[in-house]
Amino acid sequence: MQEVARAVRERLAPLLRGKRFVVLTGAGISTESGIPDYRGPGTRRRARHPIRFQEYVASSEGRARYWARSMLGWERFSRARPNAGHLALAALEQDGHVSGIVTQNVDRLHHAAGSVRVVELHGALAEVQCLDCGAMEPRARLQERLAALNPSLLSSEAALAPDGDADLPEARLAGFEVAGCGACGGTLKPHVVFFGESVARHVVEQAYALVEGSDALLVVGSSLAVFSGFRFVKRAHELGMPIAIANLGETRGDALATLRIDERAGAVLPALSELLCTGPAVQPGKSARDARECERVV
């Protein structure tokens, strides 16, 4: 921890002090809340093949497989709470250091921590949408309907996987009933961007506007392997902005970074918040709104 504190004090804080910086976050910031990632040090060795958009739309078997696993994963996923990294970013935004957050995550933990200006690149699992009539429905309500249709599956043991998924043997999928839209009976899809699906143009434009209106970019917990996030690092580099990356392991943007810290978000961000704010650090279990407002270091 002393090495992390030194790196933040001597390298990261001086780079960002006095600047309004935008933060790009990936799954690595949420692993400390118990949500697995796709490409972190603990998961790279175990390849995963998430469902692709075309398979979901074209295959009733694919949709059944997705919702069976999601039904089991949702119980734990929905109970995840913000960790010290989320809380530190919320405090930094409240104090005026962070201009906003562009997140690749679908867990809504930034909102739960108290962050206000958040662009969700890939949507959020908290809602589902009908592909036929467009109606939206809370994911929690759908969970009740799925459980009523498939009560025996709830007793299954399943390890949580990335994006609210769960590891479930194929044998347990037999006979699973998929719930239709509550309004029209049509096909429901989580309100997230699947692999093979494009991010909506207006969402990309919001994210670009945040980057272009900031003085620096901080990347936290992302390997930047997916272009939907890497493009903002490229844009910041084109604008000549300082780019800092805090991530466990190499990233696609390392060659463009001004500095890089190979460490977890939960260690880097609270240390940064303590250096840029004079108020007390926000503790896990409390939101930034509960903490005493910190004052800008001049």
Taking a C-beta distance cutoff of 8 angstroms, is the pair 104, 247 a contact? no
Is residue 41 situated within a structural domain?
Answer: no
Give the model's pLDDT for residue 58: 95
Domain span at 109: 1-35+82-122+199-298
Is residue 160 situated within a structural domain?
Answer: yes
H or E element: which one contains 88? helix 84-94
| In a shared domain, residues 66 and 205 | no
Q: Is the pLDDT of residue 126 over 80?
A: yes
Share of the chain above pLDDT 70, in %: 83
In this predicted model, what pLDDT tens digit does every residue of 166-209 receive, in sequence order? Answer: 566 666 677 899 999 999 999 999 999 998 899 999 999 999 99
Is residue 185 situated within a structural domain?
Answer: yes
| In a shared domain, residues 8 and 73 | no
Give the end of a domain, one of 192, 207, 227.
192
| In a shared domain, residues 60 and 141 | yes
Average pLDDT, the chain: 87
Taking a C-beta distance cutoff of 8 angstroms, is the pair 121, 103 a contact? yes
Catalytic residue among 122, 191, 202, 237: 122
Give the model's pLDDT for residue 49: 63
| In a shared domain, residues 88 and 233 | yes
In this predicted model, what pLDDT tens digit does every residue of 74-85 receive, in sequence order? Answer: 988 999 999 999
Give the model's pLDDT for residue 166: 59
| In a shared domain, residues 205 and 88 | yes
| In a shared domain, residues 143 and 263 | no
Is residue 42 situated within a structural domain?
Answer: no
Is residue 88 situated within a structural domain?
Answer: yes
Longest dimension (CA), the chain: 63
**Alpha carbon distances (Å) from 21 to 92, 221, 236:** 10, 16, 11
In this predicted model, what pLDDT tens digit does every residue of 15-56 receive, in sequence order? Answer: 999 999 999 999 999 999 999 865 555 544 444 567 899 999
Residues written for the chain:
298
Give the end of a domain, one of 168, 192, 216.
192
Among this protein's residues, is 122 annotated catalytic? yes
Amino acid at 73: G
Name the band, by pLDDT with cuts 50, 70 and 90, for residue 278.
low
Q: Is the pLDDT of residue 280 over 60?
A: no
Residues 6+ positions from 5 with CB-CB distance below 8 Å:
271
In this predicted model, what pLDDT tens digit does every residue of 104-120 receive, in sequence order? Answer: 999 999 999 999 999 99
Q: How many CA atoms lie within 13 A of 250 on its CB side?
A: 3
Amino acid at 128: V
Is residue 182 situated within a structural domain?
Answer: yes
Q: Which of 14, 10, 15, 153 is nearest to 71 (CA)?
A: 153
Taking a C-beta distance cutoff of 8 angstroms, is the pair 189, 129 a contact? yes
H or E element: which one contains 118? strand 118-120
